[in-house]
């Protein structure tokens, strides 16, 4: 870990302004990912701006019938919120499928969106990794890639986004609210928040320098049956090989988003139109053009079968 400066921010706008003018600054909230990465010197911020004291820890109803979740709402609190459990059960299920109770107590809503890939080559500073060190190459391509992405990959990177919560938020069409260093705010559709690796896999998302997430809003509830089916090698405390977030209506229509498949939560709206025809039809569209490796080709049939299990359960 490199030595770093530490400042406690006094307001969201101040935090953003300070981050923009301080070279090598990073925000810290729960620290459940950042601290690990700092110990390995994968992240080497010269300056940490602690946002924990900002009053962004409330869940409020919005005027259009949705929910506004403060950036600092802890995962445990979000998953346990009565309104979330009642109206957005897929979100609760996704959150409790991730990490451990201790980590969820600490991890925040905004921080969870920002967690970085778990590609083992990203985690080993001796290995080339375009995400960790742009231009150094990708050791995962041609290496051990069982956990890694099968679609939306590039010649520079085949990493996956590791989280669960964001898969549900993508399904729910959440909006990420931010404040920029100049004090202005903006709203980013979750679909536009995480990015594919392309030639710049070191950039995980579309936040600008210094921009701070203040909240995530959910539109009004969708109704229907909610599912988060996470598939992994052990029963708990493991990242998804494949996960399926779905809301299915009585008539068989619905939405589906996948985790563990790509560099971002994977949702193809065109595939959803095929849901009434079954998992195979939807998966065919969702994963058209997939580029799996030898190690992770199983994820494609696995995703289809997991979706089939969800649809079967939805039918009751």
Partner 1 sequence: MKFDTPATTNPIDRLKVVGKPTDRIDGPLKTTGRAPYAYERHDVAPGAAYGYVLGAAIAKGRITGMDLSAAKAAPGVLAIVTAENAGKLTKGNFNTANLLGGPEIEHYHQAIALVVAETFEQARAASSLIRVDYARGKGRFDLEAEMASATLPKEGFGGPAESKVGNFEGAFASAPVQLDARYTTPDHSHAMMEPHASTAKWDGDQLLLWTSNQMINWGKGDVARTLGLPEDKVRLMSPFVGGGFGGKLFVRTDAILAALGAKAAGRPVKVSLQRPLIANNTTHRPATIQRIRIGTSKDGKITAIGHESWSGDLPGGGPETAVSQTRLLYAGENRLTAMRLAVLDLPEGNAMRAPGEAPGLMALEIAMDEMAEKLGMDPVEFRALNDTQVDPEAANRPFSQRQLIQCMRIGADKFGWAKRAKAPGAIREGRWLIGMGMAAAFRNNLNGKSGARVRLDGKGVVTVETDMTDIGTGTYTIIAQTAAEMMGVPLDTVVVRLGDSSFPASAGSGGQWGANSSTAGVYAACAMLRDKVTAALGFNSADVVFEDGKVRAGNRSVALADAAKGGELVAEDHMDYGDLAKKYQQSTFGAHFVEVAVDAATAEVRVRRMLAVCAAGRILNPKSARSQVIGAMTMGVGSALMEDLAVDKRFGFFVNHDLAGYEVPVHADIPHQDVIFLDETDPTTSPMKAKGVGELGLCGVGAAVANAIHNACGVRVRDYPVTLDKLLPGMPAFV
Binding positions for partner 1, rule: CB under 8 A: 1-3, 39-41, 118, 120-121, 123-127, 139, 142-144, 146, 229, 231-239, 241-242, 278-279, 298, 301-302, 305-306, 308-309, 312
Smaller CB distance to partner 1: residue 166 or 240? 240
Asked if 160 contacts 263 with a C-beta cutoff of 8 angstroms, the reply is yes
User: Terminal CA-to-CA distance of the chain, rounded, Å?
Assistant: 52
Q: Residue 116 Cβ, how far from partner 1 at the closest point, in Å?
A: 12
Which tokens hold the place of 87? 């109206």
Smaller CB distance to partner 1: residue 212 or 303? 303
CA 104 – CA 5 distance, rounded (Å): 26
Q: Residue 178 Cβ, how far from partner 1 at the closest point, in Å?
A: 29
Q: Residue 41 Cβ, how far from partner 1 at the closest point, in Å?
A: 5
CA 235 – CA 68 distance, rounded (Å): 32
Smaller CB distance to partner 1: residue 76 or 144? 144
CA 191 – CA 176 distance, rounded (Å): 10
Q: Residue 203 Cβ, how far from partner 1 at the closest point, in Å?
A: 23
Q: Residue 281 Cβ, how far from partner 1 at the closest point, in Å?
A: 12
CA 223 – CA 35 distance, rounded (Å): 38
Smaller CB distance to partner 1: residue 82 or 234? 234
CA 87 – CA 125 distance, rounded (Å): 43
Smaller CB distance to partner 1: residue 20 or 281? 281
Q: Across-strand partners of 228?
A: 245
């Amino acid at each position: 870990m490199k030595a770093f400066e530490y400042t406690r921010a006094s307001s969201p706008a101040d935090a953003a302004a300070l981050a923009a003018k301080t070279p090598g600054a990073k925000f810290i909230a729960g620290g459940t990912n950042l601290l690990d990465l700092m110990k390995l010197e994968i992240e080497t911020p010269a300056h940490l701006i602690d946002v924990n004291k900002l009053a962004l820890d409330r869940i409020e109803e919005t005027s259009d019938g949705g929910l506004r979740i403060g950036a600092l709402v802890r995962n445990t609190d979000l998953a346990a919120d009565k309104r979330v459990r009642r109206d957005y059960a897929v979100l609760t299920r996704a959150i409790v499928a991730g990490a451990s109770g201790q980590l969820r107590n600490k991890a925040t809503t905004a921080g969870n969106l920002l967690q970085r890939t778990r590609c083992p080559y990203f985690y080993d500073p001796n290995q080339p990794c375009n995400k960790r060190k742009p231009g150094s190459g990708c050791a995962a391509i041609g290496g051990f890639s069982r956990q890694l992405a099968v679609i939306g990959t590039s010649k520079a990177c085949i990493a996956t986004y590791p989280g669960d919560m964001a898969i549900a938020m993508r399904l729910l069409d959440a909006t990420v609210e931010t404040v920029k260093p100049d004090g202005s705010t903006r709203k980013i559709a979750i679909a536009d928040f995480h990015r594919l690796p392309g030639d710049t896999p070191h950039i995980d998302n579309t936040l600008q320098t210094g921009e701070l997430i203040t909240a995530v809003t959910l539109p009004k509830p969708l109704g229907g049956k909610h599912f988060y089916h996470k598939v992994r090698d052990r029963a708990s405390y493991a990242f998804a090989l494949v996960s399926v977030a779905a809301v299915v209506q009585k008539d068989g229509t619905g939405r589906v988003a996948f985790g563990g498949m790509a560099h971002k939560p994977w949702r193809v709206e065109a595939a959803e139109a095929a849901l009434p025809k079954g998992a195979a039809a939807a998966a065919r569209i969702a994963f058209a053009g997939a580029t799996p490796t030898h190690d992770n080709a199983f994820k494609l049939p696995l995703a289809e079968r997991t979706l089939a299990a969800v649809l079967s359960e939805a039918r009751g």
